[in-house]
Structure 1
Amino acid sequence: MERLTPLSYAFLAAEDVDPTACLVIGSLAVLDGPAPHVDELRTVVAARLPTVPRYQQRVVPDRFGLRAPSWQDDPDVDLRRHVTRRRVPAPGGRAEVASLIAEAMAERMDRDRPLWDVTVCVGLADGRWGLLSRVHHALADGVSGTGLYRVVFDSEAAPDQPPPTPPGTAPGVTGGSLRAAARGVLALGTALLPVTRAGLLGPLDGTRRYAWTEVGIAETEGVRRELGVTVNDLVLAAISGGLRELLLERGRQPDAHALRTLLPVSARAPGTAGLPGNEVTLMLSMLPVELDDPVERVLQVHERVAGLRRAHEPEAGVVLQALAGLLPFPVLDRGLRWGLRLPQQQVSTVTTNVPGPRTPLTCLGRPVRQLLPVVPIADRVRLGFAVLSYGDRLAFGITADGSSTPDVDVLASKVAEAWRSLLARPEQPPPAGLERRSRSSRPGRPGT
């Protein structure tokens, strides 16, 4: 009997504490038509489900509440409830697809069943259809959540291959790294100062909005080589640029302490991406929304993330999780629920960047044209960014609180503009340093 880790249990506790939270991760695959009958997909899933045993298990609480809930086999997995069909409202365009994703990702899962489902979405424009895959965060993190692809997509199924060997000691918890992890704990402590009132924090209303934008990866090769940065640096810089413009649109002046993002970091051992569970740690970084120049932004992102790694923040997260696992479960449970009830003021958004399939996917012989990722939001965090690669494309999926962020489509377009502004800049050497004065002092524009 395997019990939930403290991190996996925390995602369930967050839903218990906050009625507006839905801790479900997922993605929508857009495929060429014609759409299959839902029974066809159920047949495929039934044949492949044994390759991922965790998807046949449900969460069972301890009878006396003295130990963490456990994963136990569900003897009667009813695929009629896990594989369903849904119609996108006419005309099935971008707005209708985004609305369907937002509505579905706000729907909580039944904990009496395995915590996943797949929906065949029919009625998309141009004769296409969608496949919406959802997994509860208690079951999987962003990396292992793509394990559901093995069940629904032809090229990812590999039913004749054995699962990877379970990892040994998680990175960051070896004896030689404990001193570094202690320094990381101190760094995390200083990163928990509240953000300014100019940020985007606040209560959620339980409804969601969704928008997305897509960019190319290959076109960034020259900029990455010239500036010595990574695709992940470009992603965070584009999000920073988009959020800067959002603040200005709302009449707020961006400053260096306005927005802090939580950056999930995989702590998985090599070869364990397909295993379920939450092998993830974190970094907390201020986003340089005060900088107007796109080159300065990406260089500042690069330096900040490198500094967090030098401070060993990811290792600290792993060690803290390990220490939490040593606590008696009743103590852990009460501590988690007490902490989750406090109005957090430190994290403004979450940004997760997950490497997706590099080769084209198919489902029942139909090719997948797009993969649109979705990240949950909770705990006064009104905006979340999920970034997923597919082939040579990168999709930014933005989840927003329904009432406080009606301009999520504008934000998506601003992120795309920030991405293009760096790639389309005039050929010139990078700035000599980050101390060059930015143009962040231009006045804010009237709010919308």
Structure 2
Amino acid sequence: MERLSPLSYAFLAAEDVDPTSCLVIGSLAVLDGPAPHVDEVRALVASRLPTVPRYQQRIAPSRLGLRAPSWQDVPDLELRRHVTVRQVPAPGGRAEVAALMAEAMAERMDRDRPLWDVTVWTGLADGRWGLLSRVHHALADGVSGTGLYRVVFDSEGPADEPPPTPPGTAPGVPVRSLVAAARGALALGAALLPVTREGLLGPLDGARRYAWTEVGIAETEGVRRELGVTVNDLVLSAISGGLRELLLERGRQPDAHALRTLLPVSSRAPGTAGHPGNEVTLMLSMLPVEHDDPVARVLAVHERVTSLRRAHEPEAGVVLQALAGLLPFPVLDRGLRWGLRLPQQQISTVTTNVPGPRTPLTCLGRPVRHLLPVVPIADRVRLGFAVLSYGDRLAFGITADATSTPDVDNLALEIGDAWRSVLVGR
């Protein structure tokens, strides 16, 4: 009997504490038509589901709540409740897709069933259709969540080699020593100082908005080599540039202490990307929104992330999770719920960056043209950024609180502009 880790359980507790949260991750694949019948997709999923046993298990609470919940087999899984169909409102363009994405990703999952689902979207513009894959964060992290792709997609090329270290992640983070972990804990402690009131924190209303932009990776090869930076540095710089413009448009000061982002860092061993569960730690970095110059901004990102790694922040996160696993579950449960009820003022946003498939995908013979990622928001964090690669493209998916961030479409445009600005600004 496998029980939920403290981190996986925390995502359930967060939903229990905050009725406006939905801790579900996912992505929308946009494919060429014609759209298949939903029964064809169900048959495909049924044929491959045995390859991912966790997707045939539900969460079972322990008796009296004395131990963490466990994963329990569901022998009579009702596939019709997990693979459904949905019509995109006419004319099925960008606005309609974004609105439906926001609505779908705010819908909580039934915990009495396995925590995943796939929805066929019909009626997209240009004769295309979509496939929305959702997985609860208690079941998978951003890296392992892409394991659902194996159930619905085929690769047009040879099987991918194990992906390189994804931008912003460090698989198999080694805890070099207790001294290193202690240094990392001190760095994390310093990063928990509140951000300035010019930031974007505040209560959520439950409804969401979604927007996205896509950029090319190959076009940045020259600037990465010239400046000595990574794709992830460019990602964080582009988001910082977009947020800088958002603050200015709202009449707020984009100072150096305005916005701090949580950066998930994979702690997976090589070759375990498809394994379920949450094997992730974190870094906390201020975003350099104070810099107007795009080159200065990307260099500031590079310096800050490098400094956090040298301070062993990711290692500290691994150790803290291990220590949490040693606590009696009732103590852990009460501590989590108490902490989640406090109005946090340290983290302004979350930025996930996950390596997606490097070779073209198909579903039932139809090619996948776009993969659009989604990250959940909760705990007073009104903006979240999910970045997913597919081939030589990066998609930035933005999840926003509907009431406080109605200008999310402009933010997506600003991020795209900020990505391109560094190419001409050096």
Q: Tell me the distance in 2 between the aligned counterparts of 1:177 and 1:271.
A: 24
Q: Which residue of 2 aligns with 1:411?
A: 411
**Separation in 1, partners of 2:124, 2:422:** 33
Contact 1:387–1:395, Cα closer than 8 Å, also in 2:
yes
Match of 1:318 in 2: 318
Equivalent pair of 1:171/1:268 in contact (CA under 8 Å): yes
What residue is the counterpart of 1:113 in the other structure? 113
| Correspondence 1:135 to 2:135 | yes
SS of residue paired to 2:72:
strand
- Higher radius of gyration, 1 or 2: 1
Q: Which residue of 2 aligns with 1:393?
A: 393
1:255 counterpart residue number: 255
Secondary structure of the 2:307 match is helix
Output one character per residue of 1:239-271: Cα deviation in whole Å (capped at 9) or x when no partner: 000000000001111100000000000000000
The residue aligned with 1:432 is none
Q: Distance in 1 between matches of 2:177 and 2:371?
A: 37
1:104 aligns with 2:104: yes
Work out whether 1:92 is the aligned partner of 2:87: no
Q: Which residue in the other structure is 1:336 paired with? A: 336
Q: Tell me the alpha carbon deviations over residues 174-195 of structure 1, each in whole angstroms, 9 at most, x when there is no partner.
A: 5x42210111001000000000
Q: Tell me how far apart the structure 2 counterparts of residues 274 and 4 of structure 1 sit (CA, whole Å).
A: 17
Number of aligned positions between the proteins: 415
* 1:228 is aligned to 2:267: no
Query: In the alignment, is the contact (CA less than 8 A) between 1:188 and 1:313 conserved in 2?
Result: yes
Alpha-carbon shift at residue 157 of structure 1 (Å)? 13
Question: Which amino acid counterpart does residue 355 of structure 1 have in structure 2?
Answer: P
Give the superposition deviation at 1:342: 0.1
How many angstroms does 1:310 deviate by?
A: 0.2
Q: Compared with structure 1, are the counterparts of its residues 307 and 237 closer, same or farther at alpha carbon in structure 2 (3 Å cutoff)? A: same
Q: Which amino acid aligns with 1:146?
A: T
Matching residue of 1:67: 67
The alignment's C-alpha RMSD in Å is 1.4
* Partner residue in 2 for 1:350: 350
Secondary structure at the residue paired with 2:76? Answer: coil
Structure 1 residue 424: deviation in Å?
A: 2.1
Residue matched to 2:197: 197
Distance in 1 (alpha carbons) for counterparts of 2:189 and 2:293:
30
* Residue matched to 2:291: 291
Alpha-carbon separation, structure 2, partners of 1:157 and 1:11: 36
Change beyond 3 A, Cα 1:158–1:65: farther
Structure 1 residues 248 and 8, CA gap change in structure 2 (3 angstroms): same
Letter in 2 for 1:64: L
How far apart in 2 are the matches of 1:147 and 1:416?
28
Describe the SS at the equivalent of 1:2. coil
CA contact (8 A) 1:188 1:284 kept: yes
Corresponding position of 1:155: 155
Deviation at 1:75, TM superposition (A): 1.3
Tell me how far apart the structure 2 counterparts of residues 190 and 392 of structure 1 sit (CA, whole Å): 37
TM-score by length of 2: 0.96
Structure 1 residues 80 and 157: alpha-carbon distance in aligned structure 2, compared to 1, 3 A threshold: farther
Q: Is the 8 A contact 1:295 1:422 kept in 2?
A: yes
Q: Deviations over 1:322-364 (max 9, x none)?
A: 0000000000000000000000000000000000000000000
C-alpha distance in 1, partners of 2:410/2:208? Answer: 15
- Paired residues of 2:172 and 2:266 also in contact (CA < 8 A): no
Q: Which runs of 5+ in 1 are unaligned?
A: 160-169, 429-448
Equivalent position SS for 1:381: coil
Distance 2:157 2:222 in 1: 35
Q: Is the 8 A contact 1:48 1:157 kept in 2?
A: no
Partner of 2:166: none
**AA in 1 matched with 2:351:** T
Distance 1:384 1:42 in 2: 31
Counterparts of 2:318 and 2:237 in 1: how far apart (Å)? 26
- Alignment check: 8 A CA contact 2:23 2:377 kept: yes
Contact map agreement 1:172 1:181 (CA 8 A) in 2: no
Contact 1:246 1:411 in 2 (8 A): yes
1:265 alignment counterpart: 265
Q: Is the 8 A contact 2:156 2:360 kept in 1?
A: no
How far does residue 317 in structure 1 lie from its aligned partner after superposition?
0.3
Residue 282 of structure 1 is matched in structure 2 by: 282
C-alpha distance in 1 between matches for 2:141 and 2:157: 19
1:168-183 equivalent positions in 2, closer than 5 A:
171-172=172-173, 174=175, 176-183=176-183
Stretch of structure 1 that moved more, 398-407 or 416-425: 416-425
Aligned residue for 1:383?
Answer: 383
Q: Does the residue aligned with 1:344 lie in a helix, a strand or coil?
A: coil
* Helix, strand or coil at the partner of 1:368: strand
Q: SS at the partner of 1:385?
A: strand
- Secondary structure at the counterpart of residue 246 of structure 1: helix
8 Å CA contact 2:210–2:400 kept in 1: the answer is yes
Equivalent pair of 2:157/2:359 in contact (CA under 8 Å): no
CA deviation after TM superposition for structure 1 residue 63, in Å: 1.4
Letter in 2 for 1:344: Q
Following the alignment from structure 2 to structure 1, what is the Cα–Cα distance between the partners of residues 204 and 229?
35
Q: Is the 8 A contact 2:385 2:396 kept in 1?
A: yes
Aligned to 1:38: 38
Q: Cα 1:106–1:157, aligned 2, differ >3 Å: closer, same or farther?
A: farther
Aligned to 1:64, the other structure's residue is in SS state helix
Q: Which runs of 5+ in 2 are unaligned?
A: 160-170
CA 1:141/1:385 → structure 2, altered by over 3 Å: closer, same or farther? same
| Cα distance in structure 1, aligned partners of 2:331 and 2:158 | 42
Secondary structure, in 3 states, of the residue corresponding to 1:114?
Answer: coil
Offset from partner CA, 1:276-308 (integer Å, 9 cap, x none): 000000000000000000000000000000000
